[in-house]
Amino acid sequence: MSKTVLIVYAHPEPTSLTRSFVSETIKTLKEHGHSVLESDLYGMNWKATFDENDFPCRINKDRIDFIQESKNAYTHKRQTHDIELEQRKLLAADAVVFHFPLWWFGMPAIMKDWIDRVYAYGFAYGYKDEGNRYRYGDGIFKNKRALLSVMVGGPAEDYSPRGINGSLDELLFPITHGTLFFPGFDVLPTHAVYGTGRLKTVEAEKALAAWRSRLEHLFNEAAIPFRRQNSGDYINNILADHIRSKETGLAIHSDT
Amino acid sequence: MSKTVLIVYAHPEPTSLTRSFVSETIKTLKEHGHSVLESDLYGMNWKATFDENDFPCRINKDRIDFIQESKNAYTHKRQTHDIELEQRKLLAADAVVFHFPLWWFGMPAIMKDWIDRVYAYGFAYGYKDEGNRYRYGDGIFKNKRALLSVMVGGPAEDYSPRGINGSLDELLFPITHGTLFFPGFDVLPTHAVYGTGRLKTVEAEKALAAWRSRLEHLFNEAAIPFRRQNSGDYINNILADHIRSKETGLAIHSDT
C-alpha cells in the first residue's frame, strides 16, 4: 500500500555519503510507490535558533517564556510559516526518516533546532493540553514510524556495547526515546554506517545496498520495544519494582 | 588563587531562571577574586549553523568536507573570527561553566552548534594531528574543569535512576563524556534544578543558594571518575574484560 514518508536531512554537500543515502531513500521509496516529502535543512536555510522571532504574536512582550509562547502560538495558529509547514509534513507522513552525520555524539545543531522549534507545546509535548498524560508511546505521532540513518566517522568498535564512546544506541537514546518515542512514534532500530571518513567506493556501494534492504522493510520491521508510559510498567513514572528489579541504566526502558 | 572561568550560556530572557543562575555565577566568582569570561550565545547572536561560511579559505571549493576544511582552517589560522575568539576564551579559562535549559533531553541547538563550530579538528579532536591518540582525559583541555548547570522543566523523579525519561546523568553522557571529557576536561557532576516551570520565588532562592555552594568548590570538588583512554582500562578502545566483566551500559565508563 502506498504510504507517505518524510525525509529530514542535514548535510550541505550534495556528494556527501549522507546525501547519497538520502538519494537512495528517495529512489527506493518511489520505486515502491510511496510518496516522499523532504526537509533538506541546509537547502531550506532552516532558521537554526529558537528565539522570540518564532512567536510573531506574543502573549507577553515583556518577558519570553518558551512554553507559554509555544502553547499560545500553536493553539491559536499564530506560528511562523516554516514551523507550521514542518508540522503539516509530519502529520501527513506515515514514517519519518532522519539522515545525518553524527557530530559530537548527536545531531548537527541545525537538526536539533528543527526539533526544538517544530515540536510545539500542544503538538509534540503537552498533547491535548494534558501535561504529560500522552507521551512515550502515546501522542500525536502514534502509529507513525521513525528511523535514524546515521553516518559515523569513527569505527564500530568504539561504539560497541563496551566501546569507549558508549554504545551508539545509548548515545542516541535522548533522540530515539526522548524525541521520537516521546510523542508517539514507533522507533525502528538505528541504521548506522561507521568509519565514513575512510569508506572506499565499493564499501559505500555495499552500505547503500544494505540501507536499501532496510528501507524495503520500513513498514513491517519490528520497532524498538521501548516501554510505554501507560502500559503499567511505570508507577508514577518510575519503572515498577518487579521489572528488572534493582537494575538501572537506559536499557531498562526497553522490554527486551 | 585567582582563576579564570568561562561561562557559556544559552537563554535569551534576562529574567529567566537560567539567566539568574548566570548572574549568580558571575557575582560569586568575582567575589572570590576570579576573572570571568562570558559567551552569551543569544546575546552574541551566535551563528547557529555549521556550514561553508565557516571556512573562508577553502582547500576544496568544489566539495565541502567538514573535517578536512576544519583541519585546514585551524592549522593555517584561517578560521572565522567568532570561532577563533571562542577558542581563545577556552584556552584562557581554568574552568568552563555551561548554563542552559534542557530542551528535548539535550542542549538548545545554539549551544550544540557552539560545540560543532568551535571544536575544530586539531583543537578539540585530532589533537596534535594524532587521530584519536589524545582523547578521554587527554587533550587540549587537560587540567581544566567543566561543569553543566541545567534547568530541567520536569520533576526529578522522571530523571531518577529508574525514572521514565532515563537518568539525567546518562541522558547528558554524550555531553559530559562525549564533548567535555573527550578533549580532556575534568568534568564535575552536573548541577540540575528540576521542575523549573513551577518554581516559587522562595524555591528559586534556595536553588540559587545551593548553586552558590557548588561554585565555591569549583576548584576542589572531585570530578566524575570517567575512565581515561590511556589509563590501561581500555584495550583497543574496548573496556578490558576484567573490568566490570560482561557488564554494558554507559555507567561502565566511570570508575565508581
Span A28-66, pLDDT tens digits: 999 999 999 999 999 999 999 999 999 999 999 999 999
Span A142-182, pLDDT tens digits: 999 999 999 999 999 999 999 999 999 999 999 999 999 99
pTM for the structure as a whole:
0.98
Pairwise CA distance, residues B223 & A169, whole Å? 26
Please answer whether residues A140 and A179 qualify as being in contact, where contact means their C-beta atoms are separated by less than 8 angstroms.
Answer: no
| Helices A17-31 & A201-216 angle (0-180, nearest 10) | 40
For the purposes of burial, counting CB atoms within 10 Å of the CB of A84, is it exposed (0-12), middle (13-18) or buried (19 or more)?
middle
State yes or no: pLDDT of A198 exceeds 90.
no
Grid cell locating A141: 505521532
Residue B36's pLDDT band, with cuts at 50, 70 and 90, is very high
Q: How many domains does chain B have?
A: 2
Span B41-64, pLDDT tens digits: 999 999 999 999 999 999 999 999
Q: Which residues in chain A touch residue B247, judged by CB atoms under 8 angstroms apart?
A: 162
Nearest-CA distance A204 → chain B (Å): 16
Nearest-CA distance A92 → chain B (Å): 23
Q: Any chain B CB within 8 A of the CB of A151?
A: no
Chain-centre distance of CA B29, in angstroms? Answer: 19
Q: Are residues A176 and A93 in the same domain?
A: yes
State yes or no: pLDDT of B198 exceeds 90.
no
Query: What is the DSSP code (8-state) at residue B106?
Result: B
pLDDT at res. B229: 98
- Mean pLDDT, to the nearest integer, of A72-82? 97
Q: Any chain B CB within 8 A of the CB of A222?
A: no
State yes or no: pLDDT of A1 exceeds 90.
no
Q: Any chain B CB within 8 A of the CB of A152?
A: no
Pairwise CA distance, residues B104 & A84, whole Å? 19
Across the interface, whether the CB atoms of A109 and B116 are under 8 A apart is answered yes
Complex ipTM > 0.95: yes
Span B74-127, pLDDT tens digits: 999 999 999 999 999 999 999 999 999 999 999 999 999 999 999 999 999 999
Across the interface, whether the CB atoms of A110 and B49 are under 8 A apart is answered yes
Query: Range of A240's domain?
Result: 225-256
Q: Are residues B122 and B183 in the same domain?
A: yes
For the purposes of burial, counting CB atoms within 10 Å of the CB of B110, is it exposed (0-12), middle (13-18) or buried (19 or more)?
buried
State which residue of chain A sits closest to B234, comparing Cα positions. A164
Across the interface, whether the CB atoms of A249 and B63 are under 8 A apart is answered no
Pairwise CA distance, residues B69 & B56, whole Å? 10
Q: Are residues A65 and A150 in the same domain?
A: yes
Grid cell locating A150: 546515521
Q: Are residues A76 and A173 in the same domain?
A: yes
Q: Are residues A51 and A174 in the same domain?
A: yes
Query: What is the DSSP code (8-state) at residue A251?
Result: G
Domain containing A155 — which CATH number?
3.40.50.360
Q: Any chain A CB within 8 A of the CB of B256?
A: no
Rounded CA Rg of chain A = 19
State yes or no: pLDDT of A234 exceeds 90.
yes
Pairwise CA distance, residues A72 & B22, whole Å? 28
Of the candidates B188, B185, B187, B152, which has an alpha carbon nearest to the alpha carbon of residue B171?
A: B152
Q: Are residues A79 and A99 in the same domain?
A: yes
Residue A197's pLDDT band, with cuts at 50, 70 and 90, is confident
pLDDT at res. B34: 98
Residue A15's pLDDT band, with cuts at 50, 70 and 90, is very high
Q: Which residues in chain A touch residue B238, judged by CB atoms under 8 angstroms apart?
A: 157, 160, 162-164
Pairwise CA distance, residues B112 & A106, whole Å? 9
Q: Are residues A110 and A179 in the same domain?
A: yes
Pairwise CA distance, residues B201 & B20, whole Å? 12
pLDDT at res. B1: 82
Q: Are residues B229 and B207 in the same domain?
A: no
Residue B202's pLDDT band, with cuts at 50, 70 and 90, is very high
Instruction: Compute the C-alpha angle B14/B97/B16, nearest 5°.
Output: 20
Q: Are residues B220 and B230 in the same domain?
A: no
